[in-house]
Structure 1
């Protein structure tokens, strides 16, 4: 099969499969290639590369960075990033520390609400990897405060909830520049999750293209056929590469499966070929 998935998460951020397990699972599902795009980290890529050799499946180095655009959190995917670029790694470490500071504030807020969560609890749940709100949700579930992780988000840790602390995020331009400095290809993730109108999205893409954006995720588990058609039109209009991914997180998003999303995806290998032509990897 020439089917791929260019948006996949592992336990290194907020997925529930290790990088090796994700790669093995992708092979079992018949995928030809996948991109591991964990949040704010590339720590799982070496394991994924080794698994790719073991299971004979192509692994594309990736990352997903969060940025703030006019009070909206945008996500920028980076493909074919250089794992050994010192400036890229230094900036990642800086943003990791900002995330840790946010965790400290969230723990204080939740403690004040009567929940005895600790940083040690979260580190145990994340197994030393990036701590995300999914780990908070898992703590709430394991300690009997909620019946599902989604309930934890709805009641306590989602945006505007009592235990939520907003992250201090870089701008999209800073994320794009960082990815490009790391020899990667910056792509806007899941554009229709930001609640932009078609006109607003077009304006955002125009600005981000001027700032160095090279692609747009036209195929995603949450996109309708009409939305995908709109994104393909915008990609052609602004001269952007087209990518696609399920946004697989394992059991943290049980309705989304690798490669097929909610059953609506069939992402062609030609999208990988387009990225390769753009890349210096």
Structure 2
């Protein structure tokens, strides 16, 4: 049986492997395909697709967009997007500018509590890529203010902590529309991670379905078997196809590996074939 991973991040957002390295790693892991779903950027897709053609690995052009739902942030995955669509790129530019505004405020907050961190250090950490909270975490660790990136998030960079700044994002409907306009399929990412009751989650999925949602990420690294069963049931109830992925970030999430998550993740290629029928 062939296996895939439909939730993977590169160094173009907050992962640590380049798009080309991801393809080589996918081949090493004996994956037939993976989706590159970087946060708010598509910069790495062409490199991954090109290397995938050389290595015999199918690369699905994707993205992960943040959206505001009531008092929390949810994530919408896009698959098979036209990553060169001008209007889609304009929408991403707005998101990236908002990230820059947020980064400036987060840096000011860190400096105000005595952290000697500069924008130059953050840019060096990010390289050519957009600065993310993962890069803040890495610099905080390197400067000795935390023992790990995970601890940096826990102490300073998560909601309610000293350096956290909420960013402005699009609505779920806008994200779904952007993905559809770019000829893609829209999927709710890791549905159980939003701290919603079962009723609240059903209400969310019902709303998103009305707004054009195509699928649900029902197989995920952190799901229990019971949670996976519930997500599959919800997908069936709302006539949504299912996807599955590890949410691989390389060294930024060392406990999660590409294709297998925490060791027990298996996403069959048949799911990708079902998705293609919806395009």
Q: Residues 25-63 of structure 1: CA distance to partner in whole angstroms, max 9, x if unpaired?
A: 011000000000000000000110111012111000000
2:169 counterpart residue number? 169
Q: Distance in 2 between matches of 1:171 and 1:6?
A: 23
Displacement after TM superposition at 1:116 (Å): 2.0
Q: Distance in 1 between matches of 2:48 and 2:270?
A: 22
Establish whether residue 58 from structure 1 lines up as the match of residue 24 from structure 2: no
Runs of 4+ in 1 over 2 A off after TM superposition: none
Equivalences for residues 1-80 of structure 1 within 5 A: 1-80=1-80
User: Which runs of 5 or more residues in structure 2 are unaligned?
Assistant: none
1:246 counterpart residue number? 246
Classify the secondary structure of the residue corresponding to 2:35: strand
Classify the secondary structure of the residue corresponding to 1:268: coil
1:145 counterpart residue number? 145
Classify the secondary structure of the residue corresponding to 1:114: coil
Report the TM-score, using the length of structure 1 for normalisation: 0.98
User: Which runs of 5 or more residues in structure 1 are unaligned?
Assistant: none
Q: Distance in 2 between matches of 1:274 and 1:120?
A: 46
1:106 counterpart residue number? 106
Establish whether residue 126 from structure 1 lines up as the match of residue 126 from structure 2: yes
Q: Residues 116-140 of structure 1: CA distance to partner in whole angstroms, max 9, x if unpaired?
A: 2222211111112121111000001
Classify the secondary structure of the residue corresponding to 1:201: helix
Report the TM-score, using the length of structure 2 for normalisation: 0.98
Establish whether residue 262 from structure 1 lines up as the match of residue 262 from structure 2: yes
> How well do the aligned residues superpose, as a CA RMSD in angstroms?
0.8
Displacement after TM superposition at 1:21 (Å): 0.6
1:135 counterpart residue number? 135
